Structures are given as C-alpha cells and as structure tokens.
Amino acid sequence: MEPVLPCDAVPGRALVTGVAGFIGSHLCDALLHRGTRVVGLDRLPPDRGSAAANLRSSLSHPAFDYVRADLRYDDLATAVAGADVVFHLAGQPGVRPSWGEAFPEYLTCNVLATHRLMTECERQHVPRLVLASSSSVYGQIAAGDRCREDAPARPVSPYGVTKLAAEQLCLAFARHPTAATSVVALRYFTVYGPRQRADMLIDRALRAALYGAPLRVFGDGSARRDFTYVDDVVSATLAAATAEAQAEVINVGGGRSVSVTELLEVVGQAAGVSVPTSSTHAQPGDVGATLADPRKAGEILGWKPHVDVTTGVSRHLAWMRQHAPDSPDTAGEAAS
C-alpha cells in the first residue's frame, strides 16, 4: 500500500476536477495560495461564462494549468500524472432535474466518469483522492436528528443515488488489498457563498432581495438545511488531502439547521429589505431537513466550521453587490 502524505504536508501538485465550478474554483485559489502547483480540469471553455469569471485570478497564475477535458471520454493520463492528490469535484448537480430525461447525464458524469478517474489514479499510484459527495445520500431524516456517517444511506432522488454510487465505487478501490490510492469522501451539506450556482437558495434569495422579483418557495418554508459556507468547505477539503485515512466518509456541515423561513429573515436583515416570495408545492426529492453530525470531521480532519449563516450571508451579499448583473432572473429554487 502506498503511503499517504504526512498530515502537515502541502501537496506539491494537485489535480482539481470541476475546477471551473463554484467549490472547485475556491479550492484552486486556496491551493495556489498555499504554494501548490494546480492542474485544473473542466469541460467548460476557460475564456467564457462562469468559468472565466470563477477562474479570473487562477488563469493568470504561473502555477496553474488548465486542461479542458471531459472525464467521461478523454484521456486522463497527462492530467493525473505526478499528482500528490486528486480533488474530484466534477459532477452533474441538482436534485430536481435528475428525475427527468437528464438522468443519463447524471449517471455518466457522477458514476462512469468517477470510475475512469479512479482507475487512472490507481494505475498511476496517486496517494490520495478526495471525493466531493453530498448530504443527499442520507435521504429523509427526522426533524432534529443528525446525519451520522455510519447511518444507513437512503437517498430519495436519482441525484443522491448517483452520489452514493460514486462514493461506494471509490471506497471499493481504496479497500482493495493492493490499493495504491486512498480515498476520503466528503459529504458536503448545502454549500453557499460567492460564485454559488444561480439556481441555489441563498443566491436566489439575495437576488430577490436586491432586485425585487419574487422568490418561489417550494413548500411552506419549514424545510431545514445545514448551510455551510464555502470557505469552511474548502478548509475541510484541504485537510482531507493529508489526513490519516484509507477509505473514509466524512460529513462537512456546519452542525446547525436553519429553516427556509429563518434563512429569508437573515437575508432580509442583511439586505435591509424583506425578501419577496411566492409559494408552490414541495418537489420530488426534496428532503424535510438536513443536519450534519460534524464530530468525525473534527476527529480525522481536525476541522470545525467558523462561519455562521448570518456572517456568511453578509459576505455573500457583499460579493454579489460587486459582481452580480443588473437584472438577473430571480424566480426559482427555495428548498435546495
């Protein structure tokens, strides 16, 4: 079995898949700041749209190389070569669209692509792969209950099924007696912050407050989420690169659950105006609550969250006031 990096080591070279995305771009910035040489892989063109915006600082950094490739089809050998750690953040997101005709995209992006990447990591003896998973693998929990990593995983959406499948696939590789690549799968709980996808709740709520178009709320506002600020998620992800582990699943969540109604009050206080809303029925795959048990993250990663929802929303709002377009579409999700 190949040794992992010491816990206090800074990876000399890292591959980040999904680097043009929300979390991937923040992780890339943090790695470059720490002195790591980063290969960023994404299927998006780096000079257009969200990729160009998210990677604005990284693209000009001398220690950053962008590889435009599709994990499902393209050769991965060069991108993986020499990596001390691979951060696998690429995937097809979104609970509600996974019920429809787009499911083959979820299957190929979240499962088959992961298999191809894990196979290449094993072939090249990459010491560690850190997998971005999701709290969606847990499914429905009782109000007030905390999700523990050893609890049964019962996803209630096709998206959650594919994330659980990706987890189990990577762990199967890592548990093999001759495994060269160890795996830490991180179950992220409702990540938010600057560069968040525009279809997610906090981004939508802030836009509704700023621009006045009503936010469509699915359900009665009682759905609860464990919101986790992106800086906290990045610090946990960095810690997972060097933690003592062979095949682990770890929650990354703030450990506090906030209802949609409560969140809209926080957004309104930050923006200085109430969030206009309209209501519709709950959607298939939406769970009533998520709440992380963060103890394992503390034990293995030495991690705890530092940014509460009030602070995080204020930071997100300040960024949005600088970067948001003048007239965004604000109708949309409110229970993601």
3-state secondary structure of 269: helix
Q: Report the alpha-carbon distance of residue 42 to residue 19 in Å, rounded.
A: 6
What distance lies between CA 213 and its chain's CA centroid?
27
- Kindly report the three-state secondary structure assignment for every residue of 134-169: EHHHCCCCCCCCCECCCCCCCCCCHHHHHHHHHHHH
The conformation of residue 192, written as its DSSP 8-state character, comes to E
Beta strands in 89-139 (DSSP E): 128-134
3-state secondary structure of 301: helix
Q: Report the alpha-carbon distance of residue 248 to residue 23 in Å, rounded.
A: 21
Q: Report the alpha-carbon distance of residue 222 to residue 2 in Å, rounded.
A: 48
- Which residue is catalytic, options 106, 159, 192, 229? 159
Torsion of CA 36, 39, 40, 44, to 10 degrees: 160
Q: Confirm whether 106 is a catalytic residue.
A: no
The conformation of residue 111, written as its DSSP 8-state character, comes to I
Give catalytic residues, as residue numbers.
159
